[in-house]
Every structure is written in C-alpha cells, then in structure tokens.
Chains A and B, each alone.
Chain A
C-alpha cells in the first residue's frame, strides 16, 4: 500500500491506460495509476516504503512513442501518455524475466510468483539442466537472522533499507558485478563482523524470503512452518516511548516472527533490534 501524504493538493494528470482515460495526481507512477484503475501489474523489486530501483523489470509496460518498454513502478505518469499494460510485447518480457529469475534462483518463498509463472506461461526449465544457478548455501552466522542468497533476486531493497533510505547503517551492499553480483558486507565477512545492528529492516523489505528470521528458517527446515496456522496481532512495542507498532506472528501460541505495518506514518515498517527480535522474554514460561 502506498501512503500518499495529504499535503498540498496536487494537480491531476490525464492520460490513458489500455485505451481508457485515467486521472492521477501529479508525481504518481504508472504503477500507482494502474493499481488505482484496478489493473494487476506484477512487481518484485518495487517496495512500498522505498524509492523504486526498477531492477527486476517484471512490471514493464508499453508507452506509446518509447523505444523500449518502461518500468511502471518508477516511471512517472505524464499528461497525454498512452500506456498499455497487457500487450504481447509487455507480456513477452515479463514471461522471459520470470523464466530468467526462476531458472537462476529459488523463488519457492516468493509470494505471488507461482501465480505469475502460470499466468504468463513461463517455463523456467527450458534453459536446460546446465543453466547457471546461484547455488549459494544459507549463511547462518548469528542467532537472529539468516541470509539465504540462493533466493536473492538482487532487488537492492535490503541495501536501500540498511543504507540511506532508512537505517543509515550501511552494513550491506552489492558486491561483484554481473551474474556474480551478491549482497555482501565488506570483504564478504560474517554478519557478526560487520556494522549490522540487527534492526531487521532488511528482512522486513526482502520480497523473496532470502532474508528471514532464524526462527522461521529453523521451522521451515523442520517442516513445522505453517502460515495458515498463524495469527497476526498488531500491538505497540513496550520497550521505549517511541511507540512503534509491532505485528506479532503467532503459531501454536509462540511468537515466530515480528513485522511492522508499513503504513505507520512514523516507522513505515522499521524497527530496532529490541522490537524486532526481543520477544523471547514474553514467552519464557519457566
């Protein structure tokens, strides 16, 4: 959900989406307008709390007069634009992007992607059994969260969340180039040797589950993770006076992870180590 602050009233732009006239406030992206018009454009790297990086290219649409396709998540709407979201050309690129991704990384914990693969008739297997894959081992080097880069689509969200967009800790970055590019701390050291302060804001924004709570990782490994059996309760963090909202995910009467609502105008889904991970005392029943 995008929170549009109710500031100075914005001018409405008029343009068309799939032939139908639409109006959107100045500064909206094509994606905002598509969603307002009830169109479902797939997105992976777009983050509701982050500036769009437009790296995955799964949201591409056709804009009349543009030489290439245009990422809906980041291109601002302009008056008179003629946008087409569902052309053969746009569908082709989305299909191939899904194939390229699904053939190189593990998307099994990426929400919605299975549906898009079906919808676009993507066949990730067609690059053959020898197609290069990431093949990374999960990195379990601390008690709080696990980095499983085999699932990483390199959307840059965690880098932006840890860096200048939210956390300002700059513990992680993209290192290397091309297919060898990976999220890493300096000299690819363990997280415990880095600047990480374990706020978990990177986990909050990761779209694929490449970053996950150690609790979730362990339960998945044990086969006990069951989202359908979980309840979510949003409450206020009890640690300090800021009043951050916490959403407790509870399964079998145990807190299994903590997220935070993105539409909170103060925290936008960000927490600190205590709010995010400091829940064991709550369920210490000895």
Chain B
C-alpha cells in the first residue's frame, strides 16, 4: 500500500480523542511529532498486515472524534488514518456512510427528532416546527429529522447528543417542544428517562418468560440477576456440553426473531461444524426497523440475560470472541451493557475461565452510527470490520464466511434471550408453547393508535385482535402495519390473523421482527406510505441499481399521487408495480427486496388510492 495522508493536521482535541482510544502513537510513522525523534522511528515502521489488522478500530475511531468534537475534520480523519494505516479515501467513504457522522462543521449539539411512522402519527411534524422556531440559527443546536429512534411507545421522541469530553445525551419522549429544547440545551438537567419497564405494560405479571425480569430485577446488579435465576442456563449448558446445547436449541424449534425466521439450531450447528477457526458470535442489536424497540427494552431492563445468552451461543458454537453490534442511537442500552460486561468480567463470568469451566469468552460492544442497513447480517460484518456497511452477496453464508471471513453465528437479541428458557425448562416444555411450527413466546412491539403502547409477550398463536385488545386499540382503526416498514398492512377486518410465522404467511403477510403499528382514520395513509418510501430511499446503501434508483423512483411516484386516486393514480401505480417487482427480484439484499412490500399491501389490501 502506498498511502498519502495529505498535510492537514489534527487539533489537540482531535488528537487527544483518537489517542484516548488507541493510546499515544509510538512513532512518527503513525503520527507522533517529528521533532522528538523516537527510538522506535529508527527501528520500525508499522505497516502491512499488523497495521491492517487494526482496521476494525476505524468505526470506534470515527466515533471518538465525532463524540468529542461533533464532526470529523480533514485533519482528524488524516490522523486517524495514519494511526490505523487506512487509506483516507476509504475512511472518508466510511465516515460519509453513517448518518450520525458529519464531515462538515456543525454545532456540538445535534437534536435528532423522530419523524417516522409512530411519531408522525403522534404529531412529529408540529413538534419539529415548534423546536425549529425555538432553536433558530445561532442556538448552537443542529436539529435533524431522524428515522425511528426505537422509542415508539413514547412517541413522539427526540434524542439530543452533545459532543465533548465526555459526550452527553438526553432523551425526550414523549417529547414536547420545551422538553426537547431543554434536553438539547441542558442535557444534564433534562428529566431522567422512565425505567425500561414502563415500556412493558405486562411488567411484573405472572406467566411471562422473556420479560419476566424486566421491571423486577435491578438491571445494574449481577447479584440481583442471579437471585432471579440468572446464570442457571449457562450452568446447564456446561452440563450438556456444546453438542447437547445445540440439540436442545434445535429441538425447541426456535427460529430467529430478527425478521428472517431462520431456524436457530441449524445455524448454530452449521457454524459449530466449520473446520475453519476462529468462530465468532455476533449479537445483532442494531434494531433500526421502524416500529421495533423490543431489543432495547431487553438490553435496558435485563442486560445480563443477553450477556449470559451470548456466552451460551459462543460455548455451543466454539467461539471465544463475541461482538455485540449496538445501534448508535441507544445510549442507555450502551451504558447498561457496558456495566453488565464489566461486572461479568470481574466475577469470572466472562474472560479466560468462564464459571471456572476453563472456557474463554469475552464480548466487545460495537456501536453503530446511524444506518438501518447495518442490521443486515453481512453489512453488519463490514461495519465492524471498518468498511462501508454494504451487504455482501451470498453465498458464501455467514456460517461459513462471516465476520473477518470466519465462521460466524449471528443472532438477534430476542432470539438469544430465548435460549435461556430453552435450557432452563428443557426443549420439550419450550416447544409446547406456541404452535407446531412457531414455538415459544414472542415479543410484539405495539405502537400507534392504541392506549397502552409497548412490548407485549404472548405465546405464538394469539391473534392480532387479541394483541390489539390487550394494548387497548382505539376506535376507527384504519390499518395495521405488521412487521415494520419491510412488512405489510392489513385491514381492520383481518384481526383474526394468527400471529405465527405460518399464519401470517398464509394470510399473505409477514410477522417480520414483531412490529404491530395501529393507525386510526385520522392518519393520512398516502403520507404514511410516502414516509415509508422516504425511509427506504434514505437507508439504501446505494450498492445495487434496483434499490439505489428504484427507491428514488418509488418515492417520486408516491409524491405524484399523494393526493390522487383512481384513474389519476393508475399510471403511477403501474410504474410502482413494475419497479417494485424488479427491486424484489434483483436487489442484492433484503432492504431492496422488501422496500415495496408495505406500499404494495396498502394498494392491494387497503385500496390506498381507490
């Protein structure tokens, strides 16, 4: 490699931010001052493989700069690149991929105001206008319209991030103009967020499995977690041995809860049996699907459960290193998990000798930076590795060539947490919950026009109507979006659809990640569809043509017909169908393949433009 770093210099602050992550540079080859010639300068130049192996610190490095300064200058980027031996053009390509980074100067405080589906229905447009009127130019706050912040149960939502040492964050949800402005201008005096359990209307009720500890256990106390049954599943795993654990998981019938519904036991078995080593475990905690917030609630309310479950997954598949890829907009989940990891390490539940069983395992948290596409499993690997979060084409599949090109098992947070009851109650008892092909309990994220939005746990097989009744559905229901932006709409007369993978499939729709968004007839449907199209256009990675251009053409057509029906809309609907079909058929990844689902269902099932 022949790297050229230009001559822009970092400021002292920028240098300090990078050095806090990487340690001081050892030689002028990697950015130390040339005037104090160091002994190391004469002896070595770090380069080649050793340096390239640190490429995965690029994303944390960009975060370090952005957290401290609020944006990424040329000098800061060049310094980071020198430290990591990464070509600046590539690092620039990475920095400009993520919504949370800026390569142009901007105020230290950014206020992200959600304008996505649930928040839009709860008046986000007015909120934005009010905030912008109060925080005019020169306020030192940059107001940015944001996709779903994963706080839909408290819509409308806003998240303020103030760069500095340390970076400060404050959430306002349900947000008012006053509260959001306060969060942005004085994050330390903003109101404390309500505990995670407020997102769980059933909290504390008997009969819960996945949510049994949320609101009951102290999420910051390992002792309390153990007092509530924590770490019995891991003990059981060590008794069963890796093959025994995989057998239990397979027999339980568990399928992934991340949206694609792939059998977890099969994935684990396929990874475990790969001859290539090391193996990795990755927890997909990116959760950026609009309307989804279940993983956040688990991580905030019961973080040790996720740590324990990842340890079991690693033990079963022969991995010694786990990565938890956490969505960048979840500061509280980040703090809770970091604390949980530190406690687990201090108590020998992570590290060289887990539970005294001679098994080494540790977990590293990787923070995303605002890109829905990084939830796609292979894009997530690229993101961790320090590349643009673009999906890879499959095959090869992650079980064979995943993170760093090695066999990798990647699971969703909820999927992993299901492994605990599988091991404590045994596969047959677990499989007896739910229906034949959809076993176990399932979390649903209910938001929109309901009285008690939040996370609900129900055994598979309950109907959509059962769930909406629990959540207090309001009168004049117009439509329900099942499965999030990548899912589909159903009509109010279809509430008897059973909430199972096979039941929703039979009804021509999908369960996706368990999103249920209810909209009453005050919500203008064409606007909602436009918002969905805008989301996909914004979030497309841009790699393949059907999605990069198709999502733009879809949004344009929906704009044209936002106030039209019947014959006036017919031509554009034909266009939408043709482009949608090519996106579904020819896109590289699930984003492009599903970007037309919701709109199509609104046209076909709801008669959106009739």
Contact = CB atoms under 8 A, between A and B. Distances in A.
A54 B578 contact: no
Contact of A173 (B2, B89, B545): B89
A97 B579 CA distance: 9
Given A55-B543, A130-B556, A187-B74, A100 B550 contact: yes
Contact of A179 (B4, B93, B549): B549
B556 A186 contact: no
A185 B575 CA distance: 36
Q: Give the most central of A58, A96, A132, A153: most B CB within 10 Å.
A: A96
Interface stretch (A163-171, A225-233, A278-286): A163-171
A174 B388 CA distance: 9
Contacts of B544: 54-57
Nearest to A126: B575
Interface string B86-97: 011111110011
Interface in A175-219: 175-181, 184-188, 193-195, 197
A57 B545 contact: yes
B582 A93 contact: yes
B516 interface: no
A185 B77 CA distance: 13
B537 to A, nearest CB: 6
A92 interface: yes
Contacts of B2: 168-170, 195, 197
A104 B546 contact: no
Contacts of B286: none
Contact of B551 (A68, A178, A180): A178
A177 B584 CA distance: 20
B545 A186 contact: no
A167 B118 CA distance: 49
B373 to A, nearest CB: 8
A163 to B, nearest CB: 8
A153 B544 CA distance: 10
Q: Give the most central of A154, A173, A177, A180: most B CB within 10 Å.
A: A177
Given A92-B581, A100-B553, A186-B6, A173 B586 contact: no
A163 B88 CA distance: 12
Interface in B522-563: 537-546, 548-553, 556, 560
Contacts of B87: 163, 170-171, 173, 195
Nearest to B580: A96
B301 to A, nearest CB: 33
A100 B393 contact: no
Q: Give the most central of A92, A104, A195: most B CB within 10 Å.
A: A195
Nearest to B593: A68
B186 interface: no
B6 A92 contact: no
A113 B442 CA distance: 50
Contacts of A170: 1-3, 87, 89-90
Contact of A195 (B89, B97, B560, B587): B89
A101 B585 contact: no
B588 interface: yes
B602 interface: no
Nearest to A171: B89
Nearest to B97: A177
Q: Give the most central of B6, B90, B393, B586: most A CB within 10 Å.
A: B586
Contacts of B539: 178
A259 interface: no
A134 to B, nearest CB: 10
B48 to A, nearest CB: 12
Contact of A96 (B93, B96, B388, B550): B550
A120 to B, nearest CB: 12
A173 B575 CA distance: 33
B538 A178 contact: yes
B542 A89 contact: no
Contacts of A193: 6
B6 A69 contact: no
Nearest to A193: B6
Contacts of B546: 57, 93, 96-97, 100
Given A60-B586, A170-B1, A186 B77 contact: yes
B143 to A, nearest CB: 20
Contacts of A156: 543
Nearest to A71: B393
B371 interface: yes
A248 interface: no
A116 B88 CA distance: 38
B77 A179 contact: no
Interface of B: 1-4, 6, 74, 77-78, 87-93, 96-97, 103, 371, 388, 393, 537-546, 548-553, 556, 560, 575, 578-579, 581-582, 584-588, 593
A-B pairs, top 10 by smallest CB distance, nearest first, are A170-B87, A195-B4, A96-B582, A181-B542, A173-B93, A100-B549, A186-B88, A93-B586, A186-B92, A173-B89
9 contacts: A57-B586, A69-B585, A74-B393, A93-B581, A96-B550, A104-B549, A154-B548, A181-B541, A195-B2
Interface of A: 54-58, 60, 68-69, 71, 74, 89, 92-93, 95-97, 100-101, 103-104, 126-128, 130-132, 153-154, 156, 163, 168-181, 184-188, 193-195, 197
Given A71-B393, A131-B556, 4 more contacts: A57-B586, A170-B90, A179-B540, A180-B542
